[in-house]
Structure 1
Amino acid sequence: MTALATIALCWRVERCDGVTIGLTAHDRDLTIDGLVHRAAPGMTPSAVVRGDGLAADTMDVGGALTSSAIDERDLIAGRWDGARVAIFAVDWVTGALHAELGEGRIGSVELSDRGFTAELRGASAALDRAVVETTSADCRAALGDKRCRVAMAGRRRMLRVVSVEGVVVTVDAVEPSADGYGGGVLRWIGGANTGLASAIAGSAGATLTLRADPAFAVAAGTLVEVIEGCDKTIATCAGRFGNALNFRGEPYLPVMDLLTRYPGG
């Protein structure tokens, strides 16, 4: 008598905002480690490409946009960008782990009439990054990170949206200094954009200019968190933040045009 195979494919998806879902190719829901993995017969992974070399491990996961957990609008808005995905096989009778098949983070997402395809990039994809930083006149640190060390307490403010016209957002309080929010971030706390963040190109008074339109419509009164930004110049670092000691750039390094200069040029 042939033994009955009781193996089911599952994957756990953890978004950057903390939302976690479980999906399975089995014909019924499975509870694994306290998380319900919903039956998703339309979800299929490609072959896992792995090796013992330095090439990045990759695979694709495709599926139909039929699950309420994965919405087309959320994919387009970027809610799933960078999400951690773990794919594994379990015994659907006992729930015991059978094999870990792969793990990575969602890279590019493509939409089509048949559904979506998401690329998963493994841990070795980090090897694609530059080993050392290149020199630059502007600061390479992010405002408030461990290299910048500017204290962000008091530089984050909870505000209300007064109006939105395209990329221009008017809030109910003026900026702390001229273009104080330029280069900063606006985090949506309420409304359809909850959990998303928008980069701020510049600010003037109570007006913020975003680098891109909000993913979804914004109603007046929506709560947002606005975080101050920096234009990455040594003048702003020293004058506004008093932090020139931690400036991570080379503003006085001679540039390449110095080599092309000639007497009388």
Structure 2
Amino acid sequence: MVAFIEPELTSIAFCWRVERRDGVALGCTSHDRDLLIDGLVYRASPGMLPSAVSLSDGFEASALDVSGALTSDAITEADLAAGRWDGAAVFLFMVDWEEPGAEELPLARGELGDISLTGQGFTAELKGMTAALDRPVVEQTSPECRAELGDARCRVDMAGRVRIARIAAIVGEETFELSEAGADRAYAYGRLRWITGNNSGLESPVLTSAGARLTLREPPPQQARIGDLVEMAEGCDRAFATCTGRFANALNFRGEPHLPGIDLLTRYAAG
């Protein structure tokens, strides 16, 4: 046990380090002044307030709530609504605010779950490491492929299947004209990553494409503008016919297209 919690009069401060998936890191503390720990400044404003923290040596899924204030330079309502903080890694610990870099007492580690906005603040669920035990252990059978195009299981070479372009025209909230045309439906079920503009760093799933026109599954979190730089990656509808005909990758197909489903008993013999 660390020494700074043993005296009758203590100088304890809670600290949170939040790391987004795009690499942005934020430090907050419950102390009334900023603390410098391992090169990161833990700001006293906006502070964060956790719910009761309990530690155990069991395997129960642990979670706690963290609340905080919205500010223009740290955690903004627009960033929360855009999903920039979804799944961010969180490390909660205690330090001695008189010597913040000397010792640390870890309290909780996990990732941000459900986030809700409340007036000028927010409340986020912190999912502990044991929450991963609630996930399925094995995959369920499916006629569609369960791999992602280009990942270690799919093994399709994505070189030449990713393209950089700019938004040339805005047709609708979900539909854009790009500066470069591609093959019809080449980017259907793929992804679009925003490089510049209001949505920089975010990704949007693609519904379909036809030439230079691209339609997203849903509008981007922030308004897109003409000239925004984007990265487009080809997609796959996960069908066995597409895997064999378009990618010649039947050997790595991660599905069971010929396995009878639960509707087998309701089928009728063809005339």
Question: Normalising to structure 2: TM-score of the pair?
Answer: 0.92
CA–CA distance in structure 1, aligned partners of residues 46 and 256 of structure 2: 54
Out of 126, 138, 143, the position equivalent to 1:137 is: 143
Counterpart of 1:154 (choices 150, 153, 160) is 160
- Segments of 5+ residues of structure 2 without an aligned counterpart are 1-6
Match in the other structure for 2:220:
214
Mapped to 1, the partners of 2:270 and 2:224 lie a distance apart of 58
13-22 vs 2-11, which moves further? 2-11
The count of corresponding residues between Structure 1 and Structure 2 is 263
| Structure 1 residues 71-220: aligned runs within 5 Å | 71-95=76-100, 96-164=102-170, 165-175=172-182, 177-220=183-226
Q: Secondary structure at the match of 1:237?
A: helix
Q: Deviations over 1:215-245 (max 9, x none)?
A: 1111111100001100101111111111010
Aligned partners of 1:264, 1:250: CA distance in 2, in Å? 23
Question: What secondary structure is seen at the aligned counterpart in 2 of 1:132?
Answer: coil
Contact 1:26 1:40 in 2 (8 A): no
Structure 2 letter corresponding to 1:150: V
Q: Equivalent of 1:6, from 11, 20, 25?
A: 11
**AA partner of residue 188 (structure 1):** W
Q: Report the Cα distance in structure 2 between the residues aligned to 1:159 and 1:78, rounded to whole angstroms.
A: 23
Change (3 A) 1:239 1:51: same
2:160 aligned counterpart, secondary structure: coil
After superposition, residues 238-257 of structure 1 pair within 5 angstroms as 238-257=244-263
Closer, same or farther: CA 166–41 of 1 in aligned 2, 3 Å:
closer
CA offsets 1:177-219 (integer angstroms, 9 cap, x no match): 3211011110000011111110001111111111111111111
Q: TM-score, normalised by structure 1?
A: 0.94
1:39 aligns with 44
- Name the counterpart of 1:30: 35
Flag structure 1 segments of 5+ consecutive residues without an equivalent. none
Per-residue displacement from partner, 1:86-107 (whole Å, max 9, x unpaired)?
Answer: 0111111111224111011001
SS of 2:201's equivalent in the other structure is: coil
Q: Which amino acid in 2 is paired with 1:201?
A: L
Corresponding residue SS for 2:263:
helix
3-state SS of 1:201 partner: strand
Compare 35-44 and 110-119 and name the one that shifted more. 35-44
Kindly report the root-mean-square deviation, in angstroms, between the aligned alpha carbons of the 2 structures: 1.7
CA distance in 2, matches of 1:88, 1:221: 44
Inter-CA distance 16–264: structure 2 relative to 1 (3 Å threshold): closer
> What is the deviation of 1:114?
4.6
Offset of 1:261 from its aligned partner? Answer: 4.1
Q: Distance in 2 between matches of 1:41 and 1:252?
A: 56
